[in-house]
Amino acid sequence: MDETQNFRLKYPPLIDPFGRKLTYLRIAVTDRCNLRCTYCMPEEGVPFIPHERIIRFEELYRIVAVMSGSGISKVRITGGEPFVRKGLMEFFERIAALDGLRQIHLTTNGVLIHQYIGKLKRLGVSGINLSMDTLNAEKFKTITRREGWEEVQKSFRLAMEYGIPLKINSVIQRGINDDEIEGLARLAEEHPIQVRFIEQMPFNGLIKEFRKPFTASEIKERLENVFGELYPENNPGSTAQLFSVPGFAGKIGIIAGYSRTFCDSCNRLRITSTGILKTCLYDRGSIDLKTLVRDGADDARLYEAITHAVAKRHKDGFEAEEMTMNIPKQSMAQIGG
């Protein structure tokens, strides 16, 4: 993986009807997880998908290879928890060797990744997004319904030691961890990292029980009350509005996932753990790439199916959601965030 090389695309780039070029692919390699975050899934977990319906790594590799030949230059591996899936590091190593991919990122809860940080660094991981909703060990147990606080702290320390670009993701829940906004933000005061606060979205594996979240503007107000004015940075294509704060080594981000203020510049596709291609976080999935691969589709056929889905992409998350209004929301673990 060479971030600077020139690479000749094998296929024309993927461009949607609104002129947005798709360059970023998020892959949920599993729907399973070793935690049970309250905003993501119920205590008993989501009904986990049987193994045969989960896309295999060799099937995923074929799809990523076709996409990297059509302008996808950045991949994020997510889940569920990616590190609960066997064979993840081998898959990482294989896609890291694909010519067209310039960046491979990971999103993780941090409980298992510490064992692999050295190897990930050697393989050239571009960055890690580490979920951390609290700085308090007891509250960690309340939010995630599991143990693992020490391991997450270890992963954080090791990523810093190895100099891997780090982003902290914190979902803010009213009355649960909104009192930690300041403490979490201070991690970016001390370290050259991004701390990103995320509005809770209605993806918790349940039909109901979703109350209006602690909004992006409330988060910003809370931060400005403590740190003074936040200075917006220009970072097009990102879901996070980034801010610099005088005296901070790092940056603060706010992700208005519920308010959806970033659709205009969205450049991302998603593949779920069952191999469904999604062109929007809020849609129900466009095509079943796994079945196409299993039915023997060649690369040209895969490319054609992907372009077909891209040609029908919705304008924004509100339009996509309208089509799925009365269907129970999936868990974020099934979609990959």
Q: Cα(98)–Cα(13) distance, rounded to whole angstroms? A: 17
Report if residue 80 touches ligand SF4, rule: CB under 6 A: yes
335 binds ligand SF4 (CB under 6 A): no
Write the DSSP string, 261-313.
--GGG--EEEE-TT-EEESSTTS--SEEHHHHHHTT--HHHHHHHHHHHHHT-
Identity at 264, one-letter amino acid code: D
Residue 48's identity, in one-letter code, is F
- What whole-number distance in Å separates Cα of residue 164 and Cα of residue 88? 19
Which one of 74-82, 280-288, 292-300, 308-316 is the stretch in contact with ligand SAM (CB under 6 A)?
A: 74-82
Closer CB to ligand SAM, 79 or 317, in the complex: 79
Q: Is the separation of the CB atoms in 230 and 245 below 8 Å?
A: yes
**Half-sphere exposure of 112 toward its Cβ, with a 13 Å CA cutoff?**
15
Sites for ligand SAM among residues 211-240 (CB under 6 A): none
Binding mask 29-48 for ligand SF4 (x = CB under 6 A): ----x-xxx--xx-------
Give the closest residue to 62 by CA, choosing from 267, 279, 335, 306.
306
Residue 134 as a binder of ligand SAM (CB under 6 A): the answer is no
Please identify which residue in 257, 275, 285, 317 interacts with ligand SAM, judged by CB under 6 A: 257
Question: In this chain, which stretch among 5-13, 101-109, 116-124, 134-142 interacts with ligand SAM, using CB under 6 A?
Answer: 101-109
Near ligand SAM by CB under 6 A: residue from 23, 134, 155, 200: 200
- Residues 75, 198, 240, 256: which binds ligand SAM (CB under 6 A)? 198
332 lies in the site for ligand SF4, by CB under 6 A? yes
75 binds ligand SAM (CB under 6 A): no
Q: Which H helix or E strand runs over 149?
A: helix 149-161
Restricted to residues 155-174, the positions that interact with ligand SAM (CB under 6 A) are: 169, 171
Q: Which residues contact ligand SF4 by CB under 6 A?
A: 33, 35-37, 40-41, 79-81, 109, 131, 332-333
